Chains A and B, each alone.
Chain A
Amino acid sequence: MLSSEDLPELARDVIRQAMAAGASDAECTISEGDEFSVNVRMGELETLKDAGSRGAGLRVLIGKRMGASYTSDLTADGIRQMVRSAIDLAALTTEDPFAGLPDPEELGSIGIDLKLFSNETADLATEQRIEMARRGEAAALAFDPRITNSEGGSFDSNVGSRIFANSRGFLGSYRSSSCSITVMPVATQGDSMERDYWYSHARSSAGLEDAASVGRKAAEGAIRRLGAVKVETQRVPVIFEPRTARTLLSSLCDAVSGSAIYRKASFLAGKLGEKIADERITIIDDGTIPGLFGSSPFDDEGVPTRRTPVIERGVLKSYLLNSYTARKLSLRTTGNASRGITGNAGIGHGNFFLEAGTRTPEEIIRGVKNGFFVTELIGSGVNIVTGDYSRGAVGIWIRDGELAFPVAEVTIASTLQEMLNGIGEIGSDLEFLSSVSAPTIMIGEMTVGGR
């Protein structure tokens, strides 16, 4: 049985075996992880899960042909089969003139400690984990008599490592840890039943928001949804709170992905250097900020991560690229290669965020006479090819600058193009709660579909 310390050497050995079997280039990824989760519901322990696993993936090039394979069997036999399989498959793919690894001078790892790992996460006693889940849920249940039920409080953690080696001499590895508290209470009043959730996510439990505070926020969210109504169909200003604003950023992230761009499968294809948004919009991708969830020392091709301005004062400055999409577009990689343990690298992001504005969310709400404050979005109605945007929404109606009454079972619709240019306000409340982040955003006008 291999220990964790042996895995970098295993990656190197996989590369050696692939080259000996006829590969002209090879990349090996190994990942190892332990997961723990506990859920407490109505004060009682409900589920407890504790386990670990690992896997290895290989990508080979024979000339300009690619083959890939993976295995969860890291015995000598399992590895030999994986190598054989990738080599065999390379004979069946087509030559792709753009296939290849990053140039040697592009490879590397950033030199600073990104603080991605904390021993404390792995060492935390099971009782403490259960206690955090329990306290989170208890605070939600105690928050208001209308909190009558719950899907529970949970504590989850993951500790893992990632090893990457290629035939151009790169060998890198890093460990990471994360943990989170989530609370999902249910509120009832008459016929109305609503749930909401809140969570806190950090590299170590010391970085987590207090469990009781997470529980109270979740309860507050569920309560404020009670008695929601459907409004008339109309065009109004729409405010996205950070939790929903970040989903707009996710859509934009997909739209600037090099894979979508070279296929012309994005409404932003061919727009580099053009003004595509209101000049108050600056969007950055930065994989180098210590401690954050989008940070890593190198991307999944062994290229150092970096800070890339994507939109600067409304002008599209850069796409997110790996080495393949960069070659397709005659550009340089931006260190955004991303993949699981096998296959061709796709495009990912570091910490992808909209720079904060100056006004507080309260000021923004106060400036709206009749509008919609969106707290949750459901469905997948964003079309990156055309920019068409149509999603189910839940939130609170704004009357004369005040949050007036809850609204549900409505849609909001526009196009991403119009939304980018029709930004009304950007809030000052940017927080990096996940790898895609945004402050409060107000869009000047969207169609709310209701009665």
Chain B
Amino acid sequence: MSFSDSFFASKFGITRRDLENHLSEALSRGGDYADLYFEYIATSSISIDESIVKSATQGVSLGVGVRVIAGERTGYAYSDDLSPEKIRHAAQVAALIASGPAKVEQTPLEEGRKRNLYPVVMSPNETEFRERVELAQRADIAARAYDPRVFQVQVSYADSLRHVLVATSDGVLNFDRQPLARMSVFVLAHQDGGAPQQGHSGGGGRYELEYFQKEKTPEYFAKEAARQAIVQLDAVEAPAGEQIVVLGPGWPGVLLHEAVGHGLEADFNRKGVSAFSGRIGQQVASPLCTVVDDGTIGGRRGSLNVDDEGNETQRNVLIENGILRGYLQDKLSSRITKSAPTGSGRRESYEHIPMPRMTNTFMLAGEDDPEDIIRSVPRGLYCANFGGGSVDITSGNFVFSASESYLIEDGKLTRPVRNATLIGNGPEAMKYVSRVGHDLKLDEGVGMCGKEGQSVPVGVGIPTVRIDRMTVGGTA
């Protein structure tokens, strides 16, 4: 597809000439660089509670953001009206960051290479609403059927179809169509009317609706959520203090996102405020650890054909055999530090300034058998599932909350334990990784990452790993 057939050209009559004019306006007071980000997003959501479809919502939001960079300064403005006068006004406001003569030379806009990591013909957002409601209802039925102790089920299904167009003063012209869908199931169970326990599960990605019919069905997510709630009914108090911790494969990869991922975002490092600042080439993890951030995996929630600054996403090695290799760059940071772009400039919407962000962050598989790893632990904690996490990138201290974990006693998983927070220090914690399994698994596709008030979808993954020392926040 060429620009003239693209969404914004055909639906809103936006021409190359318009884009060039707006970019000139943005650089009318000088500045080194300007870009335009057009966004049109249609969303739908369904929520089922007490087996009733209590809400069905859909809507659209559209707008354009204009950014001007002058040295290390950024000016930003946006408009939710795509008329030329409104865009011009936004460009004039963003231009105020610079103060000098207009920048006259213009690089002609050139369309970027086309690839499609999510070749979705009909996005879930474009399918019959009724089909999506029926999928969500199947999850409700399956969760209730799993066990008589299940007494409360909430299912939510949400999808979106985002069209973006990026035009920059250094000649980038890129557009993309980004489908996304997610199903979540939340279950409460109790034993003989006693205290309830919760379980949740969910997943999705940049797929057609068929994904939920053939690959990961509503029943799959429902059973998983119900299973977790039932397991928790027998949970005992979690241990407190330093333990040997084994992380199961998949979602526990949120460890990497918190312990190293955020700390390697180039904005923090350029400013010298990250615990990882100035440590490229140093040992920051055990030699068993190789961590990558890869925005190019087909269909994944964190994947993008182009980032929100018009650069192609790529596979970036962050840590190789324990050695820190690189940071995640956005345009501003790569300009200032004269580093190659990594395709990591992302933003929540047209109302937001892009920042370096993660895509799909995971550790490569090792050689150990997962069973052997568990057998190697005399006494410790096995974490199968987590809730969220967060990090203080300056001190490097991070936490993540275990939602399903078990005591390891004499190399065997014994009792499930109650929810507990695990805490560690980024550049230190991963030095204690002593075993890495061969069972790399990516998460199911539910991750949402927040940074400075902006949320973007991401993915994580990890094989089974043993960490010899980590503090567990239990009470026992």
Q: CB within 8 Å of B: which residues of A?
A: 1, 41, 44-51, 53-55, 57, 66-73, 78, 81-82, 85, 88-90, 92-96, 99, 149-151, 186, 192-195, 225, 228, 230, 232-233, 263-265, 267, 342-344, 376, 378-381, 383, 385-386, 388, 390-392, 394, 408-414, 447-451
- The answer on a CB contact under 8 Å between B75 and A48 is yes
- Tell me the complex Cα distance, A46–B387, Å: 35
- The answer on a CB contact under 8 Å between B395 and A194 is yes
User: Is B97 close to A, CB under 8 A?
Assistant: yes
- The answer on a CB contact under 8 Å between B419 and A383 is yes
> Which residues in B have their C-beta under 8 angstroms from that of A383?
198, 419
- The answer on a CB contact under 8 Å between B394 and A186 is yes
- Tell me the complex Cα distance, A414–B473, Å: 9
CB-CB nearest in chain B for A35: B351
- The answer on a CB contact under 8 Å between B60 and A193 is no
User: Is B130 close to A, CB under 8 A?
Assistant: yes
Q: Main secondary structure on chain B at its contact with chain A?
A: strand
B193 CB to closest chain A CB (Å) equals 10
User: Is B197 close to A, CB under 8 A?
Assistant: yes
- The answer on a CB contact under 8 Å between A343 and B390 is no
> Which residues in B have their C-beta under 8 angstroms from that of A85?
58-59
> Which residues in A have their C-beta under 8 angstroms from that of B419?
381, 383, 386, 388, 390
CB-CB nearest in chain A for B85: A1
> Which residues in A have their C-beta under 8 angstroms from that of B133?
92-93
- Taking a contact as CB atoms closer than 8 A, the residue among A78, A150, A385 that contacts B198 in the complex is A385
- Tell me the complex Cα distance, A185–B271, Å: 12
A/B interface sample: 27 pairs, CB < 8 A: A48-B74, A53-B78, A53-B79, A66-B56, A68-B58, A70-B59, A72-B60, A72-B61, A92-B53, A94-B51, A94-B53, A194-B394, A228-B395, A232-B241, A343-B57, A379-B400, A380-B389, A381-B419, A385-B198, A386-B195, A388-B418, A390-B238, A392-B390, A392-B473, A394-B392, A409-B425, A410-B471
- Tell me the complex Cα distance, A394–B398, Å: 11
User: Is B440 close to A, CB under 8 A?
Assistant: no
Interface range on chain B (Cβ under 8 Å from partner): 35 or more
- The answer on a CB contact under 8 Å between A55 and B198 is no
- Tell me the complex Cα distance, A89–B79, Å: 29
- The answer on a CB contact under 8 Å between B241 and A386 is no
- Which residues 245-288 of B have a CB within 8 angstroms of A? 271-273, 275
Q: What are the 8 A-B residue pairs with the smallest beta carbon separation, nearest first?
A: A411-B473, A233-B241, A70-B59, A379-B399, A392-B399, A381-B421, A195-B394, A68-B57
- Tell me the complex Cα distance, A368–B436, Å: 45
- The answer on a CB contact under 8 Å between B397 and A378 is yes
- Tell me the complex Cα distance, A379–B421, Å: 8
User: Is B2 close to A, CB under 8 A?
Assistant: no
B356 CB to closest chain A CB (Å) equals 15
- Which residues 318-374 of B have a CB within 8 angstroms of A? 351, 353
- Beyond A48-B75, A51-B76, A195-B273, whether A413 also contacts B420 by CB under 8 A is yes
> Which residues in A have their C-beta under 8 angstroms from that of B45?
343
- Which residues 188-208 of B have a CB within 8 angstroms of A? 188, 195-198
Most chain-A CB neighbours within 10 Å: which of B275, B424, B474? B474
- Beyond A379-B390, A390-B420, A451-B242, whether A151 also contacts B271 by CB under 8 A is yes
Q: Given A72-B60, A94-B52, A263-B50, 13 more contacts at CB 8 Å?
A: A46-B74, A51-B351, A92-B130, A149-B273, A193-B275, A194-B394, A264-B188, A380-B389, A386-B418, A386-B419, A392-B423, A411-B471, A448-B240
Most chain-B CB neighbours within 10 Å: which of A1, A390, A448? A390
- Which residues 27-63 of B have a CB within 8 angstroms of A? 45, 47, 49-63
- Taking a contact as CB atoms closer than 8 A, the residue among A1, A44, A380, A381 that contacts B73 in the complex is A44
- Tell me the complex Cα distance, A410–B351, Å: 37
User: Is B154 close to A, CB under 8 A?
Assistant: yes
- Beyond A385-B198, A411-B471, whether A344 also contacts B78 by CB under 8 A is no
- The answer on a CB contact under 8 Å between A93 and B56 is yes
- Beyond A41-B271, A391-B399, whether A380 also contacts B388 by CB under 8 A is yes
> Which residues in A have their C-beta under 8 angstroms from that of B198?
265, 383, 385-386
- The answer on a CB contact under 8 Å between A447 and B74 is no
- Tell me the complex Cα distance, A4–B278, Å: 50
Most chain-A CB neighbours within 10 Å: which of B55, B420, B421? B421
- Tell me the complex Cα distance, A32–B201, Å: 36
User: Is B472 close to A, CB under 8 A?
Assistant: yes
User: Is B14 close to A, CB under 8 A?
Assistant: no
> Which residues in A have their C-beta under 8 angstroms from that of B390?
378-380, 392
- Tell me the complex Cα distance, A96–B47, Å: 13
> Which residues in A have their C-beta under 8 angstroms from that of B474?
390, 413, 447, 449
User: Is B161 close to A, CB under 8 A?
Assistant: no
- Tell me the complex Cα distance, A383–B74, Å: 40
User: Is B456 close to A, CB under 8 A?
Assistant: no
- Tell me the complex Cα distance, A90–B133, Å: 12
- The answer on a CB contact under 8 Å between A379 and B401 is yes
> Which residues in A have their C-beta under 8 angstroms from that of B394?
186, 193-195
User: Is B93 close to A, CB under 8 A?
Assistant: yes
- The answer on a CB contact under 8 Å between A380 and B401 is yes
Q: What are the interface flags for B62-91 relative to A under an 8 Å C-beta threshold, 1 for contact and 0 otherwise?
A: 110000000011111111110000000010
- Beyond A411-B421, A411-B423, whether A66 also contacts B240 by CB under 8 A is no
> Which residues in A have their C-beta under 8 angstroms from that of B398?
378, 392
CB-CB nearest in chain A for B186: A265
- The answer on a CB contact under 8 Å between B62 and A73 is yes
- Tell me the complex Cα distance, A306–B59, Å: 32
User: Is B151 close to A, CB under 8 A?
Assistant: yes
